[in-house]
Structure 1
Amino acid sequence: MSADGSRTPACDEAVRARIAAARLWAAHRAPYLASAVFALNPVILEPALDGDSGEPVADPGFRAFPADTRWNLYVEPGTALATPVEEVGWWMLHQVGHLVRGHAARSPVRPEPGHEVGHAAGAVRDEEAHRWNQAADAEINDDLEAEDLRGPAGVVSPAELALPANRTAEEYVPMLDVLVQAMGRGGRALTEAIDCGSAVDGQERAYEESGSGEGLTRLDRELLERSIAAGIQDRISARSEVPSGWRRWAGERLRPSVDWRARLGATIRRGVSTVAGQVDFSYRRPSRRAAAYTGIVPPSMARAVPDTVLVIDTSGSVTDDVLNRLLAEVTGIIEGVAGPDRRLRAFCCDVRPHPVQAVRRAGDIELTGGGGTDMRAGITAATALRPRPDLVIVLTDGETPWPGQRPAAHVVVCLIGDAGHAPGWASAVRVPADPPRRVPVKGES
């Protein structure tokens, strides 16, 4: 160190050599994450110094080599030089897990105005933020353990805590709450207080000013994540071993994201246009052009507005809030296609159809029922109506038996949630049961 206690070139060189060796170790042990490991940007901090010798000493607050959301890895010299290369490499893989899996964006914790998160292990941290850090650690460390990469002492281990494997951070939070309460009654702590930085919860730390302006841009991160996911999929195709958590992440990352509202609207409009294309002759608007030449008044071609019936699953497994939201979407789409004030017929159905309702708006539908589920009864009742409907739209979670044969009317099924299924003869759209809340724009109440 220099006389004034600042870093010397030799100290920096030793630290960078340790980081370089750790990168190679991590890339070798988890090759599907090699590009992510080499994308980390080390930011060397001012060291903590021994009061007598003036030499760098390890700072426990930086034992996890914390990272921020711009992929900066904050390295405290004394900690880096005192930590074995293999352990530094393990923490690199750990931080990559936080970054790639978007734990900061998924965090339920939001920073409070004027609140600064300390970096020391003994600093008082918000309990919710600390629990989220532990749960996110459990999600990552589970996959590292699957590669036989055991973490340092004091880190959360799902296997050692007898927690189920292959769960997400959101699932681990309540499990850890129960364990903390049980262990607290015995006077023990669950794990050590380890802070992984803003990469895990999105709350900026004071030391992150050292890396301001550095790191990856949003586009860089997007391209990097896609490259990692594609590489994992290639390894899976080649039958190479990849932990299940990374398999799941890669599949979700590469799956096209389709706006369910746009898809629902397109499916209903396609169903409406299909039945509306069935034209017929009509004398209500004679063909004047043909009459001018022949003196005979022939009928014109008329396209009727399709008659639509809604069949609504009101069994106990589908909540009224979800149904009301979907009904507003569906009736809005139909109004846009068939015109305003178009009267619709609707059935509520659990194990049997309830009386038909003639409505103009979604708010006019009275949701009745609440028993089991059998959409066969609802579809049969809908197609037995007179006049017979051209289009039947079914709102259900799909946990129901279906008719064995295609009904006379065209059927569109709105599947609520991830479970259940639709019959092969129907047009189907899967919609979320619990969509994310809309964040108000600044200035809105």
Structure 2
Amino acid sequence: MTADRSRAYEEAVRVRLAAARLWAAHRAPYLASAVFALNPVILEPAAHDDTGAPVADPEFRAFPADTRWNLYVEPGTALATPVEEIGWWMLHQVGHLVRGHASRSPARPRPGREAAGAPARGEEAHRWNQAADAELNDDVVAEDLPGPAGVISPAELGLPAHRTAEEYVPMLDVLAEAMGRGGQALAEAIDCGSAVDGRERTYEDAGSAGGLTRLDRDLLERSIAAAAVRDRISGRGEVPAGWRRWAEERLRPSVNWRARLGAVIRSGLSTVAGQVDFSYRRPSRRAGAYAGVVPPSMVRAVPDTVLVVDTSGSVTGDVLNRLLAEVTGIIDGVAGPGRRLRAFCCDVRPYPVQVVRRAGDIALTGGGGTDMRAGLAAATALRPRPDLVVVLTDGRTAWPERRPAARVVVCLIGEGGHAPGWASVVRVPARVPVKGGA
């Protein structure tokens, strides 16, 4: 392909991208700033052997993106795709980026895990891509923007609406297994890039010098959230439920999570520790005033705490270890150092209870899905029954409908997930820094 023809094709691609941006911004005004923040990276085209014209590459059908907001455009695919469909994929990729699917991905590379089981991790990344697509496409359909053929849609699959990607993963696993027995595939294989699973692709080298900085991304997300909330309040447009929830969560004022966590746990423990009772384990200091009678002394109740630790694949061990150290330090401050703690690890089921003295002694076991109903049921079934249950989780789980017998504090890790209304909740950053450090 000559240089002149290559430039002509590139110019034609840029014209289509510009038209697609305008279409997307018009259909979802609250995402307009995000759509125009995408940085198109036009790749080297695959040329037809005879004509030299660009040939569409199915690998780039979804116009994949990376976490720096680079949108990778293969010329043959862009020229063969209708402008409206390109705009639809732009809105779709913005959804992956803004909702942090790469950081939430259970398949993202982690030190020491990538060498073993690479094919299995690839299958996990594919299922996560489908689940993240299902989370997004609910809202796109709500805007009366049905997706291209072959994309995952909860409505078409008979799945419940308005769930998170973490909730859709096990549902899609069940569906895929059932359809596989009948010789059918769940859906076409569509790759949205590292923006959805955090796994870099080889073609991303072409965009390594561009994209948005971390500060740029943070400011952009805040402006998008403000636009979504503003549109809802003003009544100018109907913002889909998923975007409303995200926007409200994103704009929620930040607080010192350590101070709040300490206050909530101390409040729960002090209620028990403040109670007093009589005990004959130690004679009263006034025993000499009673002839022939040994009076009891007053004792302070020692609060009993149980930890329930979410060890599903979506929560990293490093974050859990640091957060456990914070929590146990607070408990020691109220209940006294060196006390024995009971702890459960839980994914879809609770593992055997561990009795430990320090957070570092807890062996983190598990790695499947998540069901905190099972963990809380196991904790409250212990005897003696705990006074306080502290749950460490990312909140991407089902919860009991009714308040358990013990008081519950939920340490909600990261930006996503949710906790029940009957629990005391503390939002904790996904990257828990070392106390006093970065």
TM-score clears 0.5: yes
Unmatched 5+ stretches in structure 2? 275-298, 311-319, 342-356, 360-377, 392-401, 412-418
Match of 1:94 among 92, 95, 100: 92
Tell me: CA distance 1:207–1:175, structure 2 relative to 1, closer, same or farther (3 Å). Answer: same
Q: Label 1:23 to 1:326 Cα distance change in 2 as closer, same or farther (>3 A).
A: closer
Q: Which residue of 2 aligns with 1:12?
A: 10
Structure 2 distance, partners of 1:77, 1:172, is 33
1:189 to 185, 189, 199: 185
| 1:399 to 2:403 alignment | yes
Look up the SS of the partner of 2:187 in the other structure: coil
C-alpha contact 1:43 1:73 (8 A) present in aligned 2: yes
1:26 corresponds to which residue?
A: 24
Q: For residue 328 of structure 1, what is the aligned residue in structure 2?
A: 328
Q: Aligned residue for 1:245? A: 242
Matches of 2:162 and 2:422, distance apart in 1: 25
CA distance 1:31–1:437, change in 2 (3 Å): closer
SS of equivalent residue, structure 1 residue 242: coil
Q: Which letter maps to 1:227? A: S
Whole-angstrom CA distance in 1 between matches of 2:422 and 2:213: 41
Q: Which amino acid in 1 is paired with 2:425?
A: R
**Match for 1:94: what amino acid?**
H
Partner of 2:353: none
Which residue in 1 is equivalent to 2:231?
235
**Unpaired runs of 5+ in structure 1?**
118-122, 277-306, 347-360, 379-392, 403-412, 423-428, 441-445
- Counterpart residue type for residue 251 of structure 1: E
Report how far residue 124 of structure 1 moved: 11
- Residue 415 of structure 1 contacts residue 421 of structure 1 at CA under 8 Å; is this kept in 2? no
Contact conserved, 2:194 with 2:200, CA < 8 A, in 1?
A: yes
Residue 126 (structure 1) shift = 1.4
The 1:254/1:341 distance shift into structure 2, 3 A limit, reads closer
Counterpart-to-counterpart distance in 2, 1:56 and 1:78 = 4
TM-score for the superposition, normalised by structure 1? 0.65
Deviations 1:19-61 (A, max 9, x none): 0000000000000100000000011111111111111111111
Residue 204 of structure 2, aligned match among 208, 212, 231:
208
Contact kept in structure 2, 1:311 and 1:395, CA below 8 Å: no
- Change beyond 3 A, Cα 1:431–1:206: same
- For 2:425, the equivalent position in structure 1 comes to 430
RMSD: 4.2
Q: Which string of whole-angstrom CA distances, capped at 9 and with x for unpartnered residues, describes residues 133-167 of structure 1? A: 11111111111001110111111111111111001
Residues 414 and 431 of structure 1 are in contact (CA less than 8 Å); yes or no, is this contact kept in structure 2? Answer: no
2:259 maps to a residue whose letter is A
For 1:27-426, what aligned pairs fall within 5 Å after superposition?
27-111=25-109, 126-239=122-235, 240-266=237-263, 309-312=301-304, 319=308, 328-334=328-334, 370-371=380-381, 399=403, 415-416=409-410, 418-419=419-420, 421=422
Instruction: Give CA deviations for 1:355-396 in whole Å, capped at 9, x if unaligned.
Output: xxxxxx899xxxx995599x9xx9xxxxxxxxxxxxxx9667
Deviation at 1:107, TM superposition (A): 0.5
Q: Distance in 2 between matches of 1:155 and 1:44?
A: 24
What secondary structure, in the 3-state scheme, does the structure 2 residue paired with 1:261 have? Answer: helix
Aligned counterparts of 2:52 and 2:261: Cα–Cα separation in 1: 67
Asked whether the 8 Å contact 2:266–2:330 carries over to 1, the reply is no
1:36-95 CA distance string (max 9 Å, x none): 000000111111111111111111111111111100001111111111000000000010
Normalised by the length of structure 2, the TM-score is 0.66
Q: Answer yes or no: is the 8 Å Cα contact 2:56–2:75 preserved in 1.
A: yes
- What do residues 253-287 of structure 1 show as CA deviations (whole Å, max 9, x unaligned)? 11234454322435678999xxx9xxxxxxxxxxx
Equivalent-residue separation in structure 1 for 2:254 and 2:85 (angstroms):
37
Q: Look up the equivalent residue of 1:419 and give its one-letter code.
A: P
Q: Is the 8 A contact 1:233 1:247 kept in 2?
A: yes
Percent identical residues: 63
Is this contact kept in 1: 2:102–2:108, CA < 8 A? Answer: no
8 Å contact kept, 1:32–1:228? yes
Partner amino acid, structure 2, of 1:255: R
Opposite residue 265 of structure 1, the aligned amino acid is G
| 1:175-222 CA distance string (max 9 Å, x none) | 110111111111111111111111111111111111111000000000
**Count of residue pairs the alignment pairs up:** 339
* SS class of match (1:214): coil
Per-residue deviation at 1:251? 1.5
